Structure 1
Amino acid sequence: MRQVEDLKIVIRLVPLWSTGILLSTPLAIQASLFVLQALTMDRRLGPHFTVPAASMLIFLLIFTPITIIFLDRFVYPAWQKLTGRFPPPLQRIGIGHVVVALSMVVSALVESKRLKEARKTGSTDTMSVFWLVPQLAIIGIGEAIQLPGNSTLFYQEFPAELKSTGTALVSLFVGLAYYVSVALVSLVRRSTRWLPDDINDGRMDSVYWLVFGLAAVNFVYYLVCAWFYKYRGLAKVSAEN
């Protein structure tokens, strides 16, 4: 009977887990496409140094831990004092959905501006590569909100014997998101002219809008799953988590 009940708990969490795949897909898309953008932008930093295109990913890696520290030290304790409870993981994940989707909007707007400048001037380095910082920073903030939220949700809700499995599920949907991103980019390249070899002849901004659309649909799906999900008597998440 215990094993049957544990299986029921896991099955109830599967819909929420599945939303994490498309939640992490924007991160995978950014990791694939931002380098192509950076290569066509002005990467000069002074007269003798050129910023390596791939190194711009450092801004995502910087903003993620900074956001985690800021939330854990200031935002969540303040929330706990005002409401009497630690922010529930479902709310944190939902906010992460919104922030990650917002990063795709910023990415599309920046790419649209870059394309316009490149086509107007005929030059491939009219915009500074640091225009990419906002989109990388926002998606880093989104990951800092949703990944700990997902880890907390699965760890606290999985049966005691399966805690490690619950934690591993977060890494699993992140890994699957990279496969989805590869399939999505391949499909776009085969079906449209948005991603040619020379991205100045394409519409990478449309790719970002497409991913934003998928993220929006996924968010609605998440809201439905979260609405019907009931915590197993663990609605309050301790500050240690």
Structure 2
Amino acid sequence: MVMDRHFGSLNIPAASLSSFNVLAVVVFAPIYERIIVPVACKITKTEGGISHLQRAGIGLLFVILAMLSAAIVETKRLQIARDEGLMHQNVAVPMIIFWQIPQYVLAGIGDMLNQIGMLEFFYDQAPDSMRSLCLALGLLTVSLGSYITSFIFTVVNWVTGWMPENLNEGHLDRLFLLFSGLSLFNLVVFAYFASRYRYKKK
């Protein structure tokens, strides 16, 4: 809402950018399935190219890259706001909204890899009698993650005030960097346990 949303005569709704998240999945899924997986299979000499947990871990890495991309874009936006003397005005800065597309694409690819890896892992590794339950629990973690993220966001904003009513006076870039750090910690913990997991034999 505080970026230039004009594209010719069109005024782009800010919420419409989430469609690039979906488009990234639609475009990348066939590329992944038709190109990346066969190449990975030839390199690793294994079925699927990479394991379910490796796929999920790569997805988590893409989420970190998305957060870092968001932090870089917001840092640049705040710099423009300072240079243009708009810090204390709740107005859009002259920076095109399309600079946000890379982070939506990275997040979409990351979510796809993570979700596919997680669902394949539960389907393949869970006991037959618990397969549906494990799939449901896997999806439950996604919703719990959303609640935890909202809680962290609310607490951090309450303590730091990084996201005031006027975002030109805020520090949303620091919030993105914080979530990058938390995501990196999450990836490290995930990698620790994933590296110790032994797949059941077919």
Paired residues for 1:127-138 under 5 Å: 127-138=95-106
User: What do you get for the CA RMSD once the two structures are aligned?
Assistant: 1.2
Q: Which residue of 2 aligns with 1:33?
A: none
**Residue 40, structure 1, aligned to residue 2, structure 2:** yes
Q: Any runs of at least 4 consecutive aligned residues in structure 1 with deviations exceeding 2 A, and if so which?
A: 81-84, 122-125
Larger RCO (CA within 8 A; separation ≥ 6): 1
Q: Which residue of 1 aligns with 2:20?
A: 59
- Output the TM-score relative to the length of structure 2: 0.92
Instruction: Provide structure 1 residue ranges, at least 5 long, that are not aligned to the other structure.
Output: 1-38, 235-241
Q: Which residue of 2 aligns with 1:118?
A: 81
CA distance in 2, matches of 1:181, 1:94: 19
CA distance in 2, matches of 1:170, 1:122: 48
Q: Which residue of 1 aligns with 2:70?
A: 107
C-alpha deviation, 1:169, in angstroms: 2.2
Q: Which residue of 2 aligns with 1:219?
A: 187
- Aligned residues between the structures: 195
Deviations 1:54-97 (A, max 9, x none): 00110011001221211111110221133321221111111112
CA distance in 2, matches of 1:228, 1:74: 29
CA contact (8 A) 1:65 1:144 kept: no
Q: Which residue of 1 aligns with 2:89?
A: none
CA distance in 2, matches of 1:53, 1:141: 20
- Percent identity, aligned pairs only, is 33
C-alpha deviation, 1:232, in angstroms: 1.0
Picking from 53, 56, 59, the partner of 1:93 is 56
CA distance in 2, matches of 1:228, 1:79: 22
Q: Which residue of 1 aligns with 2:132?
A: 164
Q: Which has the higher strand share?
A: 2
- Output the TM-score relative to the length of structure 1: 0.78
**Residue 229, structure 1, aligned to residue 194, structure 2:** no
CA contact (8 A) 1:117 1:126 kept: yes
Q: Which has the higher helix share?
A: 1
Q: Which residue of 2 aligns with 1:184?
A: 152
CA distance in 2, matches of 1:171, 1:65: 20
CA distance in 2, matches of 1:41, 1:64: 25
C-alpha deviation, 1:109, in angstroms: 0.5
SS in structure 1 of the partner of residue 11 of structure 2: coil
